[in-house]
Amino acid sequence: MPRKIVIHAGFHKTGTSTVQAVLRDNRKALMPALAIRLKGQMQELMHATRGYSTDGTPDALDKVSRRFDALLTDLPGMPRRTLLMSAEELSGHMPGRGALTDYSATPVLMYLFWERAKAAFPKTPVHFVFATRNRADWQRSAWAEHVKSSGMTLDYDNYIQRYAGASDLAQIVQDVTRRVPAPVHSYALEDCASLPLGPADPVLDICDIPADIRAALVPQPPQNTRLSENTLAALLEINRTHTDTKARNTAKDALLGKGPQT
């Protein structure tokens, strides 16, 4: 049974990749106090959360429940350690994927995680933590991520008009707080620039890491930063001219210098 469960569930484009890089690079040092579950160890669960965010059906939510239960069942005994789960996809897909316009699935998913965690470990406190970001900066970064990693064909101005409701991250945190009977923490990415570990510091604050372990942790540079405007313009043109997914990805890989993918 974990001594505490901390669920760091987003949001996309708020420094989450940097948090996960810090956790990954310092996993050994953190091990005495922290059990870490990142994307690679939660693929089945994240597939289900993304599915629920787009489908919204009871069956899709039941799949999330079953896969979250399976993750908890597979945990080793850790009475002196905090369990930290960190993946932005725990909140579902990033808005802008097809018809998905906002994070309205997030409060439902967080309540489910709380409910199932308390069923498995009634005496273990559960905490949630989210990062927010300046609206304009988040919109620009989210659009750029869609252009890079999906078939997004909208220019920036049309994107922010279509998905205007997606960027009010603070409101989603409030919705989670109202829905979930557990502590919900949030921090602004803009406030993390001067912190020793950047956006990982507010997450680790909630995990009760002993001071000697905390002092030995190694920072990581910002991850998954936005591409240049010229590169984004070229990627957008690829999206608009390649309807075949494989051809589109091949053209993007060539532009970004990845070379052929096997």
Per-residue pLDDT at 130 exceeds 70: yes
217/214 Cα distance (integer angstroms): 6
Same domain, 119 and 105: yes
pLDDT at 261: 40
Closest CA to 92 of 139, 151, 146, 52: 52
Q: How many domains does the chain have?
A: 2
- Domain hosting 191: range is 4-222
Residue 75's identity, in one-letter code, is L
16/22 Cα distance (integer angstroms): 10
Same domain, 155 and 215: yes
How many Cβ atoms are within 10 Å of 58's Cβ, its own excluded? 9
Q: What pTM was computed for the model?
A: 0.94
55/74 Cα distance (integer angstroms): 27
What percent of the chain clears pLDDT 70, i.e. is strictly above it? 98
**pLDDT per position as a tens digit, 2-29:** 999 999 999 999 999 999 999 999 999 9
Same domain, 143 and 242: no
Same domain, 218 and 238: no
Closest CA to 129 of 164, 85, 192: 85
* CA distance to 24, 79, 198, 199, 248, per residue, from 144 (Å): 25, 42, 22, 21, 16
**pLDDT per position as a tens digit, 55-104:** 999 999 999 999 999 999 999 888 889 999 999 999 999 999 878 999 99
Give how far the C-alpha of residue 80 lies from the chain's centroid of Cα atoms, to the nearest Å: 26
Query: What one-character-per-residue DSSP string does 126-188 give?
Result: EEEEEEE--HHHHHHHHHHHHHHHS-----HHHHHHHTGGGG-HHHHHHHHHHH-SS-EEEEE
Same domain, 218 and 195: yes
157/195 Cα distance (integer angstroms): 33
Same domain, 209 and 235: no
Same domain, 148 and 206: yes
Banded model confidence at residue 262, pLDDT cuts 50, 70, 90 = very low
Same domain, 259 and 172: no
